[in-house]
Structure 1
Amino acid sequence: MNEKKRLNGQMPYWKQIIYILTIGWIVIWIYRTILTPIYPIISDYFGGATDAELGHISSFYFLGYVCMQIPSGVLVDKLGKKQILIPGFLLFGLGALVVGLAQNIGIVFVGSVLAGLGCGTYYGVAYSLTAEYVPVSKRSLSTAIVNSGTAIGSGLGLISSSYLVGTGVLPWQALIFATIVLILLAVTMFLYFIRLEKPNKAINTKSEKKKTMSIRALFKPRMVSAYILYFSTLYTYYLIDTWLPNFLETEKGFSGTSVGLASSLVFFTAIPGALIFSRIADRIPMKKVQMIILLELLAASVLFITVTTTSQTILVIGIMAYGFFGKLAVEPIIISWLGESAPRGSIATMYGVFNFFGMSASVIVPSLTGKISDITGSKLYAFYLAILIIGIGTFLFYLINRFVRDTNENTY
């Protein structure tokens, strides 16, 4: 149908969405990860910042990101996706510029908040676009492809930072400025490829009124179970994202570019895992809850082995296994599972609330881990805490979906 294609008529609109959204995540995650492998360099530049202060860089970014989730979801549903996405990405670029020009750690925190607020508009846009335009039979796989941008961006950020900054080739600010160029290129692509949509009109029919989002609908047992599980999943993921490079360097004997290479394995092995498990989920849609639980338990198990081993070989294998079974593998299945019951006209709001609860973990974990490290002298206890949180979250997800029935919905 012409509606699904751009004027050149060569590619369905839903496929263009997938490619463009993947690029957006690549840019966001390059920014998120370029500083984490070089925390010691950042600390020296700002006069000996503590681990807790370094953790605040990510925590302030994610604070801005989380605070934008629900407002941006509502605005996307009311004003349109493109109308929110482009100003958001421009604010992201402004925040990155403030970080790159900062002369003290406090200004870095300010820039991090601005960048987080800008990036916070992206999630609701991305997954409401896939939920609305991607065929149901391809939704989990398509979501996994879009999510692969997070893995690619993370790997590129970690490796480039470890090599170019860690070895003294470039100052750390140079990568921030390079990211700003990528942000502007992404904005140009959004302008060209993302369709301008009209704001949602008032809903008049009785049947459609029942589908509109309400506070009660946001806290059905199905939704609450997803919030709990997503918080648990992201707590561990952002511990790895922000502190794994430093953990490998300070406690596991890695050094130089090997820090970035080893850390990036988590993200690169996530791509095949996400694609494989999402394709399986699309073929057996009635078994998504069981798949989610299995992947969470596998991820927690391999992470425990990874952080407790004294062998670098087993540690590297464990990092790869966590990537294969972890957040990036299970997230597309959770998102598509939730999308099956999303009310029309409020999809971005639903995903915004969902991501708000999940991403709350990203605000807590960087600073809390830094504080644990400052107090105990090791980040190992932070990993134990993360594994415990995954276990509790998965158990609660199982109990709610096994024994609590939503109105007009089936339990598994």
Structure 2
Amino acid sequence: MMTAPSSTHRSRTIVYFICWLSLIADGYDLYVYGTTLPALIGQEPFNVTAAQAGTVGSLALVGMLAGSLVVGMLTDKLGRRKILIGSVLLFSSFMLVCAFSPTWEIFAAARFVACFGVGGLLPTAVALANEFAVPEKKSLTLGIVLTGPALGTIAASLSSMLLIETYSFRPVYALGSFGFIAAALAWKYLPESPAFLTTVGRAAQAEKIFTAYGLASPDAAVRTSNSSVAASPTRQLFGAAFGARSLRIWLVTLLSMLTMFGVSTWLPQIMRNAGYGLGSSVSFLLAYSVGAMLGTVLASLASQRLGVKPLIVTGFVTAAAALMLMTSNPPTALMMLLVALTGFGGMGTQNQINDYIAQFYPTSMRATGLGWALAIGRLGAIAGPTYGALIIATGTGVAGAAIAFAIPAIFGAIMMLTLPRVSPARGLANDSSSASAPLPASKQS
């Protein structure tokens, strides 16, 4: 049965806005560490070394891995709304702990817990936004929602540029608690996922939400299929229909996150070592974030016509090319442009990968699929800061770091070429790489 559109339907914009605002807080809290590294390394009160900072950066991302995996699976069992609110409350609370930490050890532990919450938010927010989006505009909707992390990074960069030289790092972390606003809005206005309600047998409640928001209500056959998949979404993830492709998606995500987190964590410090001042070195991360945000929107518009896969490949190639061009030590203005292109190919490409994954898996296992992909991808994120620290230790400067991070981007493009296309309205497209395994009925819708 299809729910007919009506002017009395509630606007879906509130769902997108809450997911977007939550992801802004997510991006701020995640990337603020990189923006404050120049105020932490060798500075009071902690006086940490680059190696210690790299270790804590990687350990915090272990928390993200655990959050992506654990919370991603819980979302398909407990519901999207509770998990989103809980994740935002968790990382916002521990950002305050970071702000007032008396010792490096407490700061490091707080970063770990905060990143656990950050890791759990993205699969949930993407799954919700995807479910409420108009089928023909899924990529555009997700693209706009996924500008949230990049906007959060811009906010973190601006906060650091304005505050750390005078007030050090503490107020920058305290500002990260603005996620409490998103949690309050979600508590009051965010509906539960009707697809989740359907799979747990609360069909009447799901139907009310389908009707209230003008969503297409699945017929009985689709509901039965979704229920059977949702009974064991993790087992379905490793089944014949998805297993081999899931492994390749994980590898693409891992390579993307290694590049993205390595560059975003160490970019200010690399530029500081290259002779730029504290404020101007952070401005490169601002350029990176602007490139990521604009790139996400433009790529999402293009993917409505071309599909997500070509934009992911283009993003990887753009990042690799921009990084290689940095080795020529160009003027500052051109370096800023190359950093912005790297942002498009780094964070912007990861946003497109999230879109691809959301379209690849059916609704009943979407958060689990996203959670597993992001959890495996976090292995690359964990390696990124340590990888960057090792490159910095070689003393090869901007050129050495650029080459080091261009390599995984190249391999990411190659691996993405082996995956099938997806369509926002139809799931997997009919191409040679999707013909090898049958899809469940829910995947064909």
Calculate the TM-score normalised by the size of structure 1.
Answer: 0.87
Selected match of 2:39 from 38, 41, 49:
41
Rounded to whole Å, the distance in 1 between the matches of 2:347 and 2:48 is 31
- SS at structure 2 position matched to 1:373: helix
Alignment correspondent of 1:24: 22
Alignment gaps of 5+ in structure 1: none
Deviation at 1:347, TM superposition (A): 1.2
Q: 23-32 or 192-201, which moves further after superposition?
A: 192-201
Classify the secondary structure of the residue corresponding to 1:103. coil
SS in 2 for 1:345: helix
What's the CA shift for 1:345? 1.5
Once residues 137 and 124 of structure 2 are traced to their aligned partners in structure 1, the CA distance between those partners, rounded to angstroms, is 18
Give the match for residue 270 of structure 1.
Answer: 292
The answer to whether the 8 A contact 1:65-1:120 is kept is: yes
RMSD across aligned positions (CA): 2.9
Moved more, 336-345 or 401-410: 401-410
Aligned twin of 1:177: 174
Determine the C-alpha separation between the residues in 2 that align with 1:236 and 1:34: 17
Secondary structure of the 1:297 match is helix
Q: Which residue of 1 aligns with 2:311?
A: 291
Q: How many equivalent pairs are there?
A: 400
The residue type equivalent to 1:299 in the other structure is: A
**Percent of aligned pairs with the same residue?**
18
1:392 corresponds to which letter in structure 2?
F
Please state how far the C-alpha of 1:2 moved relative to its aligned partner.
9.6
Deviations 1:85-127 (A, max 9, x none): 2222222133223222222211111001110112222112111
Moved more, 189-198 or 327-336: 327-336
After superposition, what is the alpha-carbon deviation per residue over 1:46-92, rounded to whole angstroms, capped at 9, x for unaligned?
Answer: 45311111123322221111111121112111111121222222221
The CA deviation string for residues 286-325 of structure 1, in whole angstroms up to 9 with x for no partner, is xx3233222211221012112442422321121122234x
Is the contact made by 1:162 and 1:259 (CA closer than 8 Å) also made in structure 2? no
Call closer, same or farther: CA 1:145–1:29 in 2, change over 3 Å. Answer: same
Q: Which amino acid aligns with 1:175?
A: V
What is the aligned partner in structure 2 of residue 109 from structure 1? 108
Aligned-partner Cα distance in 1 for 2:37–2:349: 29
1:353/1:3 CA distance change after superposition, 3 Å: farther
Q: 1:209 to 1:97 in 2, by over 3 A?
A: closer
Amino acid at match of 1:54: A
Please state whether the residue corresponding to 1:269 is helix, strand or coil: helix
Give the Cα separation in 1 of the matches to 2:330 and 2:303.
36
1:178-217 equivalences in 2 (<5 Å): 178-180=175-177, 182-196=178-192, 200-201=199-200, 207-208=225-226, 211-212=229-230, 213=233, 214-217=236-239
Q: Distance in 2 between matches of 1:334 and 1:383?
A: 22
Q: Which moved more, 1:50-59 or 1:207-216?
A: 207-216
Say whether residues 1:311 and 2:331 are aligned partners: yes
- Contact 1:223-1:338 at 8 Å conserved across structures: no
More divergent stretch after superposition (263-272 vs 138-147): 263-272
CA distance in 1, matches of 2:109, 2:310: 42
Question: Taking structure 1 as reference, are residues 245 and 363 closer, same or farther at Cα in structure 2, changes over 3 Å only?
Answer: same
Within 5 Å, give how 1:92-171 maps onto structure 2: 92-166=91-165, 168=166, 170-171=167-168
C-alpha contact (below 8 Å) 2:22/2:88 kept by paired residues: no
The 3 A distance-change label for structure 1 pair 85 and 157 is same
- TM-aligned CA deviation for residue 262 of structure 1: 2.7
- 2:323 and 2:403 in contact (8 A); partners too: no
TM-score for both structures, normalised by structure 2: 0.81
Alignment partners' CA distance in 2, 1:135 and 1:52: 47
